[in-house]
Structure 1
Amino acid sequence: MGSLSVNGWWTRTTSKYASSSTNPLRLEQSSFICGNLIGLYGVQNVLPSKLCSGLKFSPRAFASRKSFKKLKKDGTQKRKSVTDSSSSNDYGQDDKKVDPSENLTEQKLISIPSRSSVLQACTVTSGLIAAFGIIIRQVSHLASVEGLPILDCSSKVSFDFEMWHLELITGLVLLISSCRYLLLKTWLDFAESSEAANQQVLTSLGPLDYMVVAFLPGFSEELLFRGALLPLFGFDWKSVLVVAAIFGVLHLGSGRKYSFAAWATFVGIAYGYATVMSSSIIVPMASHAVNNLVGGILWRYESKPSEQSMRMIGHYQNLESGM
């Protein structure tokens, strides 16, 4: 509430309707004579609403009835906003304007999942994807043994590893990580999509958690797409393109736009080509996992979330853990 500095005197006249049964309150008309009105606001926050509605304030100097009505309206609106708000100011403190952009930022931060939710979702999703890939590989193997015209995924793409595969893995990591970095600096739509995905997944995680969200999806996704679907569709360039397109489309959503799907398609082509060259699922698995880790680390040290944002995230996590 504001301050009222008065230098003068008041006259008070009791209304003739003070004893009315419909209005049990005593209504009084006050007049301010020869005074200085320094400031008055927040009256509705102190006096009862019925009393304030019947109070007539008639300043004869430096104030008008019209300005007081406007002042009274502002007080009513301020009282309503304070009532609807989830948090209240301490008594004696001035109300502060809230920037709409800050509210949007707080809503975005509150919508960020907690660390336990991210790790749980990553583990469950990766487990389901890996199980689906294993089932396809086993079914294709049994169908091939029975003489059906289906390629044996297990024989086409194995878990074998040779030393020259390490060079292929290193080349894929350098190619994909450098291309991602250049696109983040030059393609705004892709940068926004990547930022939205990283904020939702990586914001609440610790440094060691990055290993989990980098390697689990890398292993499971490559087991399904390059270890099962790629040989099932023919194990050639057409199969590489088809599986890469499916891989890209499935990366839409959660703030990621078509630019991110196009990027995922390009990455799928690179991993598919490496799989055809090596006939080993270890190559795309390792490349995918390391690229995920590099991208997460770069985002962590470039984003530098503010201290206030981290406090809000920690507060939200504490609330969720206490439920």
Structure 2
Amino acid sequence: MDLLSTNCCLRVKSRSPYFRAASQFLGVDREICGCSSSPNFFTKLCCGHGGRVKALAGQNQTKRLRKRGKFQKTDKDLPQRVQIQDEYDGVDATLISGVDYVEDGNKMPSSGTSDVQSTSVVVPSRTAVLQACTVTSGLMGAVGVLIRQVSHFAAREGWPVLDCSADITFSFELWHLELIAGSVILVSSCRFLLLKTWPDFAESSQAANQQVLTSLEPLDYLLIAFLPGISEELLFRGALLPLFGVNSTSIFVVAALFGVLHLGSGRKYSFAVWATLVGLVYGYATTWSSSIIVPMASHALNNLVAGVIWRYSSNSSK
């Protein structure tokens, strides 16, 4: 019995890479374990503390796999049971933890029948989205105001420059409400039809909305809708459109520029085409009303309608 205990202890020490760490964890010198022949000592080390050695092996194996970049954390609240195969001594170490690990962004089975799947869309935090929206909108609005003021000063001094502030003003009349309502209904209806009939546009729109709107609170949608709507219209329809001339050519040029600048952040060329068509609607609404208030209100309300519908459909699907 003494010989069997000694041989088993020596075999575990020679084959398992975790024996040295386990002996230090238990406060036992490896030389003592190597030459001890007491069955009580072996039973206490290899049986009484077997759970600690097993858990320590699983933790070290997980750390090693994490360093190699094979696993990454995902945000799961319920504890999952991950089976880790010991590649040295063939021992199955079961590690109970509060997180799951996903290999290379693909699915890996967890306990039960559920699967874990990572997404390729990078979702920034709520603070990052709001800061980016505020800074970008502020810059575009400042450029629009600067162009209007410079053109006004240059035209007053007799330079061959159109006065942007004279052609497109901030005036508002009651019949403008009908124009705003018509623009919102037209743009929202066309968006709904394109989402159902144009898969590439639906995929592009879904990626953009998921990246920007996922982390936001419900009241944040007002900020995300109105800040870009006001600043973009101030720049494109309130400054560039009258600067190029209030005509159909200028409307198409500004709308095309508006569409190109909507590329990126998961949005493909289909989204740029859509933004160009929307720019045409806002451009004609601006020339018909001679007011920058009409495209601002239309743009902001369309953003809000699109965001609320996406939020509602996402919650319903979940």
Q: TM-score, normalised by structure 2?
A: 0.69
- After superposition, residues 194-213 of structure 1 pair within 5 angstroms as 194-213=205-224
Q: Classify 1:48/1:305 alpha carbon distance in 2 versus 1 (closer, same or farther; 3 Å).
A: farther
Aligned to 2:124: 113
Q: Say if 2:309 is the partner of 1:298.
A: yes
Higher mean C-alpha deviation, range 87-96 or range 120-129: 87-96
**1:186 pairs with 180, 193, 197, which one?**
197
- After superposition, residues 1-323 of structure 1 pair within 5 angstroms as 26=10, 47=19, 83-85=64-66, 92-93=94-95, 98=102, 100-101=106-107, 105=118, 108=121, 111-304=122-315
Query: Is the Cα–Cα contact under 8 Å of residues 263 and 271 in structure 2 kept in the other structure?
Result: yes
Q: Deviations over 1:265-300 (max 9, x none)?
A: 000000001111110000000000000000000000
Aligned to 1:316: none
Figure out how many residues of one structure are paired with residues of the other and give that number: 252
Query: Is the Cα–Cα contact under 8 Å of residues 183 and 191 in structure 1 kept in the other structure?
Result: yes
> C-alpha displacement at 1:89, in angstroms?
6.6
Q: Distance in 2 between matches of 1:236 and 1:216?
A: 27
Query: Is the Cα–Cα contact under 8 Å of residues 204 and 266 in structure 2 kept in the other structure?
Result: yes
Structure 1 stretches of 4+ with a deviation exceeding 4 A read 11-15, 25-28, 43-49, 76-82, 86-99
> C-alpha displacement at 1:105, in angstroms?
2.1
Counterpart AA for 1:105:
S
Counterpart AA for 2:200:
D
> C-alpha displacement at 1:121, in angstroms?
1.2
Counterpart AA for 2:288:
M
Q: Deviations over 1:189-228 (max 9, x none)?
A: 1111111111111111111110000000000000000000
Query: Is the Cα–Cα contact under 8 Å of residues 236 and 258 in structure 2 kept in the other structure?
Result: yes
Q: Distance in 2 between matches of 1:207 and 1:189?
A: 27
- Higher-RCO chain (CA-CA 8 Å, sequence separation at least 6): 1
Q: Which runs of 5+ in 1 are unaligned?
A: 1-8, 16-24, 29-42, 50-75, 308-323
Query: Is the Cα–Cα contact under 8 Å of residues 286 and 292 in structure 2 kept in the other structure?
Result: yes
Query: Aligned-pair RMSD on alpha carbons?
Result: 3.6
Q: Classify 1:94/1:141 alpha carbon distance in 2 versus 1 (closer, same or farther; 3 Å).
A: closer
Q: Which runs of 5+ in 2 are unaligned?
A: 22-56, 67-71, 74-79, 83-92, 108-114
